[in-house]
Structure 1
């Protein structure tokens, strides 16, 4: 593990690169030194890459100096106290365009429950449109929770209107499972008499049925019990429930066990490896909450089937190297339905290389 001095040196180097200034003092404010919403997203991604962590935007909101970020990263690496934050935030700002206030884009989380997948896209939106993200607060998942896509949509619509007001015009953007939630949100906003401008489904499957070895990707209680039982958690009674097993995990998860469990989870559940690649870098509480958030959202997606109609136009952006195009989406809008092809696979269409083209497509559709 890096020493605290090495952490400081790495963070100072990242600040110098992002802000193009290698003479910054430890107490210099990020935004006073030329930082912006886009640069803060870049810094977030670079920090997570450098230290194999899973910081969220809310984690670093109060860490606007090198000194504060060193403390936050060091505490994360060593299990020290985290910086105060609004852990229950659902709506988070990603980019702003002060000159354009007529339409607000809202990106809805994928199966991982967070908005990391949109960071490259957000970089392309900066200065061109307001973009907010919607995530599921991981602090709510110390144990697995029964969820429904409709229930999540209802919670998110209430949070969106509360945060941004009743007069905003929204374009909902949902990648993967986020499209299922976005469709339900569009219907709810119809019912409230404030239909969204557009619903953009980015390679969203009509039914969440993703392949995985031996169907382990279903992440059923039986799969979880079989996996966790192999680690012999102390104090766990025979026949313990999955919730009791996860509580035992949180209490007994030392660093070596965390490494082994993360590796086994990634092996058995390949999708989890794609959406939470730095699982082993989380502290014990976050580890359990992130995994439980994933499995809870995933189960909600598997149990969901689209029903009803929205009055919003629907744009289905499908990846050229995926199999997620489903013509049944067309029957769920009373307005226009358009299909646009994006070059890439399910994951790469939001990656750094493809994000410029994906952003241009989304923004161009808005201008038609």
Structure 2
């Protein structure tokens, strides 16, 4: 039996009605990316977020999406033994939330809302080269898409193909391409968790179907082929908001997303 981890459940918005919204961390392992959404909801709903095992730098990371789903589900049911359960996840978090919804439904619990935000369907594939993955981590860490971090690109431009992640992180620290409080050692620690999550996602066979109602929120520039959730979610409603995978969490994208989630919460309440 999977043991709950009460410390991994953090409160993003404390006050509200009886049915909280539970948000699953993306690949970074941190749920605090949902803070803006939590405070932008035009409804009286408490919001909590799951922090990934290993994000504290002490506990062991989960090696698979299934393990993440089982651990977060155990934590959820420890805090709230019975539904209804309202779930939301962005990116990797959307895949984990989907699997959590399947686990809860299989246990006879009600999941009247599953919100998947710009989460690409997992596809079985190997990891990219280590230097490419480390660069992608830096973009994700800074909250930008590839090509929108010129200081990072400049800092690592002198490193040849196959450079070690430690060398990339030392270069961006030396050139001050990341905020000064994040040194190379810190980046290497965060990268280890990021890499574990990317590997888990790329080795995950998606469960066959979730019969409950679901909402897919996609960024305007995300390719449609990456978000073909229809076969897995027969009761799916889709929305598109301005921005890319990261910028959708700011300005017009966040405003539109907050409105979509607010309306969905009101409907299920």
Q: TM-score, normalised by structure 1?
A: 0.55
CA distance in 1 between partners of 2:85 and 2:95 (Å): 17
Equivalent position of 2:153 in the other structure: none
After TM superposition, list the pairs within 5 Å mapping 1:83-94 onto structure 2.
89-94=7-12
C-alpha RMSD over aligned residues: 3.6
- Equivalences for 1:159-238 in 2 at 5 Å? 159-163=75-79, 165-207=80-122, 216-218=131-133, 226-227=163-164
Shift of 1:112: 0.6
Aligned to 1:130: 46
Map Cα deviations across residues 256-296 of structure 1 (whole Å, 9 max, x no partner).
xxx625549x99xxxxxxxxx65x52478754432211111
- The structure-2 alpha-carbon separation of the partners of 1:121 and 1:146, relative to structure 1 and needing over 3 Å to count, comes to closer
Report what 1:249 is aligned to. none
Distance 1:213 1:262, change over 3 A: farther
Decide which of 95, 100, 104 is 2:13's aligned counterpart. 95
The structure with the largest helix share of the pair is 1
Shift of 1:124: 0.7
SS in 1 for 2:255: helix
Gapped regions of structure 2 (runs ≥ 5): 135-161
Between the aligned partners of 1:287 and 1:319, the Cα distance in structure 2 is 27
**Secondary structure of 2:229 counterpart:** helix
- 1:167 CA drift (Å): 2.9
Whether the 8 Å CA contact 1:144–1:292 is kept in 2: the answer is no
CA distance in 1 between partners of 2:128 and 2:223 (Å): 18
1:296 pairs with 193, 196, 213, which one? 196
Q: 1:286 to 1:327 in 2, by over 3 A?
A: closer
Deviation at residue 89 of structure 1 after TM alignment = 2.1
CA contact (8 A) 1:141 1:292 kept: no
What is the CA–CA distance in structure 2 between the aligned matches of 1:363 and 1:283, rounded to whole Å?
38
Q: Name 1:115's counterpart in structure 2.
A: 31
Q: How far does residue 168 in structure 1 lie from its aligned partner after superposition?
A: 3.8
CA distance in 2, matches of 1:215, 1:260: 15
Does structure 2 retain, via aligned residues, the 8 Å contact 1:140–1:289?
no
Report the Cα offset of residue 148 of structure 1: 0.6
Higher relative contact order (CA 8 A, sep 6+): 2
Distance in structure 1 (CA, Å) of the matches to 2:132 and 2:224: 18
